[in-house]
Structure 1
Amino acid sequence: MEEACAMAGLSPSGATLIRLGENAVFRLTEPIVVRVARSTAYASDARKEVAVARWLAEKEFPAVRALPIDQPVIAGNHVVTFWESLSESEHYGSPADVARLLAELHRLEAPVRLSLGRLEPFARAERRLASNGWFSDKDHAFLNDRLMELRTAYARLEFALPPGLIHGDASVGNVIHDRRGRPVLIDLDGFTTGPREWDLVLTAIYYERFGWHTAAEYAEFVKIYGFDVMQWPGYPVLRDVREFLMVTWLSQKAPQDERAAAEVRKRIDSLRTGTSRRDWEPY
């Protein structure tokens, strides 16, 4: 982060870490957010993210804005991007906010120049399983077998909604209220084209599987967007895929964080035994 800031002519003094997930996210003392990806393997995603942000700004869509500098920056073995800070603290959106933003987003048609390609649901999961030596041999074998099963099931899905532009990781965790209280879409690195159901399923499982949303919140989400993904016959498969990806995503934290490691072990056990997900903790 410090090296990248120096390359961009910014001061890292007083920066604070605000999120550690797919990226390490820092807030500078000036209203700027710095996102540091885990490795240069994410360089193409970062370039796409910046390009998408600039296109959305042209469309005046409520999404986070990339700083008007030459980016991304490569610092060491990391790819780094720079963003306007939306607020001094994270005030996350509601399921209703997510529904409104998705309904507006799904009406847009991405220009060819963005070269978004098609959704590859399992690409990052494969990378995470291959590069993470934390898993036990038993768990690694189980997860690889599960990955093959889900690939086969996903390939057989018949989607109900027309495909098009999608966020790729749409949930309340990726909607933040700005300083004026307006919901804004963040984390644009998963933008691609694909089934719109992919953008709806996280809110559904947060309600149905984890109990993180109430029935009233989910009903409002469905009413605003206009489609209930839980009523689609393919929902159980998409639900299982997203749960699997949630496990592999969190596993990246396990080698350095025992609390995350315990959560990953619990989640793997749930996948293996089919027990309730109600005790999964949000990250």
Structure 2
Amino acid sequence: MSAQQLEEIARRACADAGIAADAMVAIKVAENAIFRVPEQRLVVRIARAGQADAARRELEIAAWLQSHNVAAVQPLGSRSDFAVFDSRPVTLWRELPPHRNGTEREIGGALRKLHSLPVPAFLSNVEPFVRLEQRIDGASSLTESDRRWLRERVSELRAAWKELPSGKPWSPIHGDAWEGNVVTTDAGVTTFLDLERASVGPPEWDLVSTAIKHSSFGWISADRYADFCGAYGDDVATWAGFTLLRDIRELRMTSMAAQAAGTNPKHASQAQHRVDCLRDRAGSRPWSGWEPIA
């Protein structure tokens, strides 16, 4: 679906809610599209077709977090916060006040609070391999050798997941706790965004996202990682299951880049670099050259 078609869906969702949306700004147009309506302090999220239940669940999760005094993005509160247009689920959210990406210390503290909450009945278990095979199959820039290796790697890690070493009790987790999804407002409130992957799972799944920024990619210093561990109260890298979760995270990041390269050739070199790292063609960790896929 084109960016113009997605914007038209966003406008229809606003009209359905009785909201004027003359000025609309695209924030992200990818698998999920996000638009901002500045004059209404509104954000419109458009999910993939077939994700209606997941989109409704995000609204439910946001309300549940608010009830437990955990700061998170909030539904707009209109008559039509959820709707489906042309098979695409659409949700309406309040725009956050001015904010920045969370620091490692802030993310660690926010995750510690989230992981301490009781498990709600409506949250399903984490699915660490969701859509991996589809992304690999859709990655047309890959050689057949690399594609076959990635498929085999998914199978290996899926089998290892069934034998995940014991660790912290499973709890509510964010599921995608990068700094762009955990932000701090100018008022100092650290807030969770993008609740699509929220689920029940090992708390370590959230912690690995920051750990590999240091150990796999060298994106943050040892001191910044120590700030994260101090705020959370533990270092996931010392846990017996760390290597497995690290490898799954790296594979997810690689498959995402490979899928993006299938539709946009400018990402092909980044996707290939990530595959080369996983296949031991680019030296040992921490690897250089891993860059965001915009």
- TM-score of the superposition, structure 1-length normalised? 0.90
Is the 1:159–1:197 Cα contact (8 Å) retained in structure 2?
no
Please state how far the C-alpha of 1:100 moved relative to its aligned partner.
0.7
Secondary structure at the counterpart of residue 89 of structure 2:
strand
Please state how far the C-alpha of 1:21 moved relative to its aligned partner.
5.0
* RMSD between superposed Cα atoms in Å: 2.0
Please state how far the C-alpha of 1:133 moved relative to its aligned partner.
4.9
In the alignment, structure 2 segments of 5+ residues that lack a partner are: 1-9
Report what 1:241 is aligned to. 248
Secondary structure at the counterpart of residue 80 of structure 1:
strand
Please state how far the C-alpha of 1:131 moved relative to its aligned partner.
5.0
Report what 1:91 is aligned to. 100
* C-alpha separation in 2, matches of 1:20 and 1:87: 22
Q: 1:236 to 1:71 in 2, by over 3 A?
A: same
* C-alpha separation in 2, matches of 1:5 and 1:261: 36
Is the 1:201–1:238 Cα contact (8 Å) retained in structure 2?
yes
Secondary structure at the counterpart of residue 120 of structure 1:
coil
- Asked if 1:79 is matched to 2:86, the reply is no
In the alignment, structure 1 segments of 5+ residues that lack a partner are: none
* C-alpha separation in 2, matches of 1:230 and 1:22: 31
Report what 1:102 is aligned to. 111
Q: 1:49 aligns with which of 58, 82, 85?
A: 58
Map 1:151-162; keep pairs closer than 5 Å.
151-162=158-169
Task: Give the partner amino acid of 2:197.
Answer: G
Task: Give the partner amino acid of 2:93.
Answer: W
- Asked if 1:226 is matched to 2:236, the reply is no
Superposed CA offset, 1:189-228 (max 9, x none): 1111111110100100011111111111110111111111
* C-alpha separation in 1, matches of 2:30 and 2:233: 31
Please state how far the C-alpha of 1:77 moved relative to its aligned partner.
3.2
Is the 1:46–1:81 Cα contact (8 Å) retained in structure 2?
yes
Is the 1:106–1:166 Cα contact (8 Å) retained in structure 2?
yes
Report what 1:217 is aligned to. 224
Report what 2:72 is aligned to. 63
Q: 1:32 aligns with which of 31, 42, 45?
A: 42
* C-alpha separation in 1, matches of 2:118 and 2:31: 27
* C-alpha separation in 1, matches of 2:68 and 2:209: 26
Map 1:1-283; keep pairs closer than 5 Å.
1-20=10-29, 22-29=31-38, 30-37=40-47, 39-69=48-78, 70-87=80-97, 91-112=100-121, 115-131=122-138, 133=140, 135-273=142-280, 275=282, 276=284, 277-283=287-293
Task: Give the partner amino acid of 1:120.
Answer: E
Is the 2:137–2:147 Cα contact (8 Å) retained in structure 1?
no
Is the 1:57–1:63 Cα contact (8 Å) retained in structure 2?
yes
Is the 2:183–2:190 Cα contact (8 Å) retained in structure 1?
yes
Is the 1:87–1:177 Cα contact (8 Å) retained in structure 2?
no
* C-alpha separation in 2, matches of 1:253 and 1:95: 28
Secondary structure at the counterpart of residue 46 of structure 1:
helix
* C-alpha separation in 1, matches of 2:18 and 2:141: 37
Superposed CA offset, 1:54-88 (max 9, x none): 11122221111112133432121322211111135
Report what 2:3 is aligned to. none
Q: 1:8 to 1:260 in 2, by over 3 A?
A: farther
